[in-house]
């Protein structure tokens, strides 16, 4: 074989073998060391890997295959380690061409190392290292399409036709580095996903509602503990791959199956559908069920997500309320939904919720000149007319979605359940309307969060916060408003973005523990007894017990646990003081007090923001951290803080 051809074959084989060895290594330094070690073993070629400094003006040696014993002699002669030298690109024409112009060059190695050593000792060093007659091929080293340094391969037998092999070898190093980056990012992502899955599992397992996912054959994929209990099994895992036919009478199971298959076929959800159920003790029960299609990242339906709530007792209450109009009115006036009665196109009854959502006073609704269709968005008016026509035929109309438009012209997504009833001797239309504007937003987010689980986690946390507030309607929105204020205080105090994010997560679920407090206590219109207040005071402990097993990136469990602690030790549940309390908990505690005093409570009217600011001002340095109080006061007195506006990073 021709000598030149043989040399070329050898370097190609050698560099390919080294490339195989670094493929799959996940540590940058290990990649460089492996390359160095393989070149040392070759005894034919040598390599130096040079990397740019942070300011990209100089090169430093990351690894070199120079013989260790010769390297030590050379370093002793110059009095400095080779890796400590740097090459100034502005003073090196060769390296400047390689790094800044991306060229691959073949040069005498003494030319390249001449940029490392002073001229008087350059000859000595090249002689010690055996580089008098060696050639070097220099080629750029890239990472994610950006030049990060250079690779220099040296040998006495190098020729210009070796350049493609050296360039290709540098490309292999680039591929190994980029694969290492991908693996590092993948591990980071997997860790984050694990944390989020753990949080999601803990949250749904501590909810009283039934939450489950089924595949396209209506087989259980996963569920929470509440579903397992209802089905009479010990753990959710026992339900996997089973169907309702394994637990319920055929007729009931078939109804569930038919509903789910219709959702999978049409993509239309079932929202708050009341349906019968039989528990494992054989007792008849009623569930309020919402089922929506589950789609993959391509939009294909791959199953359904179901949320159910036991409304058996609620149904009994409804049946008894129908016996008298007074009971009906009492229920209607306290309903979270809009309830109205329409008689021949005119509204003759509307509950308080209608005023709150639609922005009209009831006297306006009852005016004989008021047009009912004014409340309906133009795109939904034909739907309403068709529904009314169907009612007039004596046919049932299933709940359906439509759009309202309030007095200010804002459109509202809603679901209406309507029925013809006898009222004062005439047939009238009874309507119950649920504002699902927020639900629709959440539903849209759900489709997006199926692709990005981290965003889904934020949605779940908001749902949990909403669940808590729903049980205590007088403080609805409290967690959100308190969180907005807490984040603004933290920003005003100069806390890091990471700490502010931690306050956000803790804030929106800081009253999670109230899920264990009976709703009648939360909404009691009179002062609480000592026993009742002590029960409410357990909510930080309950929340802590739920959250403490979850590995957050922030001390969420501790922040929630401590947000009722006071710096003089008079708070609860632990009686912590001063430095024992996290700064995030001190901030959330002040925001919690200000928002609570400024808002309405079942046992008192809103005290107002002035009274709230007076409270924290008078107790600055006693109950509340003075720095936190100062920041809070500045927000309101100098920056015009409002709870529903953003004042933070």
Average pLDDT, the chain: 84
Higher pLDDT, 262 or 605: 262
d(CA 292, CA 304): 6
Note the pLDDT of residue 253: 92
d(CA 200, CA 331): 34
Note the pLDDT of residue 642: 87
Shortest CA distance to 134 belongs to which of 66, 184, 190? 66
β-bridge pairing 338-343 and 426-435: antiparallel
C-alpha atoms less than 13 angstroms from C-alpha of 534 in its C-beta half-sphere: 3
Taking each helix axis as running N to C, give the angle between helix 163-205 and helix 539-547, from 0 to 180 degrees, rounded to the nearest 10: 140
Q: One fold for both 3-185 and 210-315?
A: yes
Note the pLDDT of residue 422: 84
The sign of the CA dihedral 190, 196, 202, 204 is negative
Token pair, residue 263, equals 């959702």
Look up residue 528 and give its DSSP letter.
Answer: P
Q: Find tokens 């001797």 and name the residue.
A: 425
pLDDT at 62 over 80: yes
pLDDT at 504 over 50: yes
Predicted structure pTM score: 0.37
Q: What is the CATH number of domain 210-315?
A: 3.30.450.20
Higher pLDDT, 466 or 371: 371
Note the pLDDT of residue 127: 58
- Give burial (CB, 10 Å; 0-12/13-18/19+) of 344: exposed
The per-residue pLDDT for range 473-496, each reduced to its tens digit, is 655 578 888 999 999 999 999 999
The per-residue pLDDT for range 330-380, each reduced to its tens digit, is 777 888 889 888 888 888 888 888 888 899 998 888 888 888 888 899 999
Taking residues 127-146, report their average pLDDT. Answer: 78
Q: What are phi and psi of 507, to 5 degrees?
A: -65, -45
Token pair, residue 567, equals 């710096």
Note the pLDDT of residue 570: 94
Higher pLDDT, 40 or 634: 634
Confidence of residue 628 (pLDDT cuts 50, 70, 90): very high
Confidence of residue 220 (pLDDT cuts 50, 70, 90): very high
pLDDT at 258 over 50: yes
Q: What DSSP string describes 195-237? A: HHHHHHHHHHHT-SSEEEEEETTS-EEEE-HHHHHHHT-SSGG
d(CA 155, CA 169): 15
d(CA 142, CA 33): 18
pLDDT at 17 over 60: yes
- Give the list of residues 6+ apart from residue 429 with CB closer than 8 angstroms, or none: 341, 342, 343, 388, 391, 418, 419, 420, 421
Taking residues 211-236, report their average pLDDT. Answer: 91
Buried b (16+ CB within 10 A) or exposed e, 190-206: eeeeebbeebbeebbeb
Higher pLDDT, 19 or 320: 19
pLDDT at 78 over 50: yes
pLDDT at 436 over 60: yes
| Most trustworthy range by pLDDT among 171-185, 446-460, 524-538 | 171-185
Buried b (16+ CB within 10 A) or exposed e, 114-141: bbbbeeeebeebbebbebeebbbbbbbb
- Give the list of residues 6+ apart from residue 483 with CB closer than 8 angstroms, or none: 503, 504, 507, 508, 510, 591
Token pair, residue 591, equals 């925001």
Candidate CATH numbers 3.40.50.300, 3.40.50.720, 3.30.450.20, 2.170.190.11; the one for domain 322-439: 3.30.450.20
The per-residue pLDDT for range 269-299, each reduced to its tens digit, is 999 999 999 887 888 889 999 999 999 989 9
Q: Delimit the domains of the chain by residue range.
A: 3-185, 210-315, 322-439, 471-637
Alpha helices in 359-452 (DSSP H): 362-366, 381-392, 437-449
The per-residue pLDDT for range 570-594, each reduced to its tens digit, is 999 999 998 999 999 999 999 999 9
Q: What is the CATH number of domain 3-185?
A: 3.30.450.40
pLDDT at 255 over 90: yes
Least confident of 189-198, 358-367, 494-503: 189-198
pLDDT at 1 over 50: no
pLDDT at 116 over 80: no
Taking residues 445-461, report their average pLDDT. Answer: 60
Note the pLDDT of residue 336: 87
Alpha helices in 515-570 (DSSP H): 519-522, 530-536, 539-547, 556-562
Taking residues 141-157, report their average pLDDT. Answer: 87
Note the pLDDT of residue 39: 87
Shortest CA distance to 273 belongs to which of 263, 261, 287? 287
Q: Could you tell me the strand order of the sheet in which 270-278 lies?
A: 220-223, 210-215, 301-310, 284-295, 270-278
Here the contacts of 403-411 (C-beta below 8 Å, separation 24 or greater) are: 403/376, 403/377, 403/379, 404/357, 404/358, 404/375, 404/376, 404/377, 404/380, 404/433, 405/374, 405/375, 405/376, 405/377, 406/357, 406/358, 406/359, 406/360, 406/375, 407/358, 407/359, 407/360, 408/359, 411/377
d(CA 28, CA 31): 5
Shortest CA distance to 289 belongs to which of 273, 300, 277? 273
| H/E segment holding residue 585 | helix 583-598
User: Please, are residues 98 and 148 in contact by the beta-carbon 8 Å criterion?
Assistant: no
Q: Cα angle at 374 between 369 and 377, to 5 degrees?
A: 170
Note the pLDDT of residue 365: 85
Least confident of 27-41, 151-165, 387-401: 151-165
Taking 3-state DSSP, the helix, strand and coil percentages for the chain, each rounded to the nearest 5, stand at 50, 20, 30
Note the pLDDT of residue 455: 56
Confidence of residue 186 (pLDDT cuts 50, 70, 90): confident
d(CA 470, CA 463): 10
Note the pLDDT of residue 449: 61
Q: What are phi and psi of 293, to 5 degrees?
A: -70, 140
What is the torsion angle, in degrees rounded to the nearest 10, for the CA atoms of residue 504, residue 507, residue 508 and residue 513?
A: 150
Q: What DSSP string describes 464-499? A: HHHHHHHTSGGGTTHHHHHHHHHHHHHHHTT--HHH
Shortest CA distance to 586 belongs to which of 568, 567, 605? 567
Candidate CATH numbers 3.10.129.10, 3.30.1180.20, 3.40.50.720, 1.10.3210.10; the one for domain 471-637: 1.10.3210.10
Taking residues 173-181, report their average pLDDT. Answer: 89
d(CA 34, CA 609): 67
Note the pLDDT of residue 126: 56
| Most trustworthy range by pLDDT among 108-112, 135-139, 447-451 | 135-139
The per-residue pLDDT for range 589-618, each reduced to its tens digit, is 999 999 989 887 776 778 889 999 999 999
pLDDT at 450 over 50: no
pLDDT at 321 over 80: no
């Amino acid at each position: 074989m021709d000598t030149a051809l043989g040399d070329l074959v050898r370097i190609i084989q050698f560099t390919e073998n080294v490339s195989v060895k670094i493929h799959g290594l996940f540590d940058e330094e290990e990649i460089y060391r492996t390359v160095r070690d393989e070149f040392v073993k070759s005894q034919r070629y040598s390599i130096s890997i040079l990397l740019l400094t942070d300011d990209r003006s100089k090169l430093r040696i990351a690894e070199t295959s120079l013989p260790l014993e010769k390297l030590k002699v050379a370093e002793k002669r110059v009095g400095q380690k080779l890796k400590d030298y740097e090459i100034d690109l502005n003073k090196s024409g060769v390296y400047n061409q390689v790094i800044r112009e991306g060229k691959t060059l073949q040069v005498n190695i003494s030319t390249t190392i001449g940029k490392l050593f002073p001229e008087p000792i350059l000859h000595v060093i090249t002689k010690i290292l055996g580089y008098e007659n060696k050639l070097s091929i220099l080629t750029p080293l890239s990472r994610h399409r950006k030049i990060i340094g250079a690779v220099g391969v040296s040998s006495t037998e190098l020729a210009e036709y070796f350049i493609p092999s050296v360039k290709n070898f540098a490309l292999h190093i680039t591929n190994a580095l980029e694969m290492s980056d991908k693996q590092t990012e993948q591990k980071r992502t997997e860790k984050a996903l694990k944390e989020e899955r753990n949080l999601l599992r803990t949250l749904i397992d501590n909810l009283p509602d039934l939450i489950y996912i089924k595949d396209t054959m209506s087989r259980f994929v996963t569920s929470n503990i509440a579903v397992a209990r209802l089905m009479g099994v010990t753990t959710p895992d026992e339900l996997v791959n089973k169907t309702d036919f394994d637990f319920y009478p055929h007729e009931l199971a078939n109804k569930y199956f038919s509903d789910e298959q219709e959702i999978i076929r049409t993509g239309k959800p079932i929202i708050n559908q009341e349906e019968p159920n039989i528990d494992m003790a054989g007792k008849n029960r009623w569930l309020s069920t919402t089922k929506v299609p589950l789609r993959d990242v391509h939009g294909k339906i791959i199953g359904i997500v179901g949320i159910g709530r036991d409304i058996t007792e609620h149904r009994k209450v409804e049946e008894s309320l129908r016996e008298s109009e007074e009971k009906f009115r009492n229920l209607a006036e306290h309903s979270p939904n809009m309830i109205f009665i329409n008689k021949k196109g005119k509204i003759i009854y509307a509950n308080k919720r209608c005023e709150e959502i639609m922005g009209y006073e009831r006297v306006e609704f009852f005016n004989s000149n008021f047009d009912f269709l004014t409340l309906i968005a133009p795109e939904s008016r034909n739907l309403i007319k068709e529904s009314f026509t169907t009612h007039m035929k004596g046919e049932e109309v299933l709940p359906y979605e439509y759009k309202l438009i309030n007095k200010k012209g804002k459109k509202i997504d809603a679901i209406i359940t309507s029925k013809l009833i006898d009222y004062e001797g005439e047939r009238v239309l009874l309507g119950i309307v649920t504002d699902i504007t927020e639900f629709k937003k959440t539903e849209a987010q759900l489709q997006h969060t199926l692709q990005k689980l981290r965003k889904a986690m934020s949605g779940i946390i908001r749902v949990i916060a909403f669940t808590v507030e729903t049980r205590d309607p007088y403080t609805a929105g409290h967690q959100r408003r308190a969180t907005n204020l807490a984040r603004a205080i933290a920003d005003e105090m100069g806390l890091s973005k990471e700490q502010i994010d931690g306050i956000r997560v803790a804030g929106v679920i800081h009253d999670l523990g109230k899920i264990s407090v009976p709703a009648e206590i939360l909404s009691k219109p009179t002062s609480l007894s000592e026993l009742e207040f002590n029960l409410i005071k357990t909510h930080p402990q309950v929340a802590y017990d739920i959250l403490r097993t979850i590995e957050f990136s922030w001390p969420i469990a501790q922040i929630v646990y401590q947000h009722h602690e006071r710096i003089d030790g008079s708070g609860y549940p632990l009686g912590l003081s001063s430095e024992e309390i996290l700064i995030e908990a001190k901030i959330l505690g002040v925001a919690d007090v200000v928002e609570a005093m400024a808002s309405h409570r079942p046992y008192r009217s809103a005290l107002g923001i002035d009274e709230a600011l007076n409270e924290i001002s008078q107790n600055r340095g006693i109950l509340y951290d003075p720095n936190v109080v100062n920041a809070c006061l500045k927000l309101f007195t100098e920056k015009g803080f409002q709870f529903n506006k953003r004042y933070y990073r």
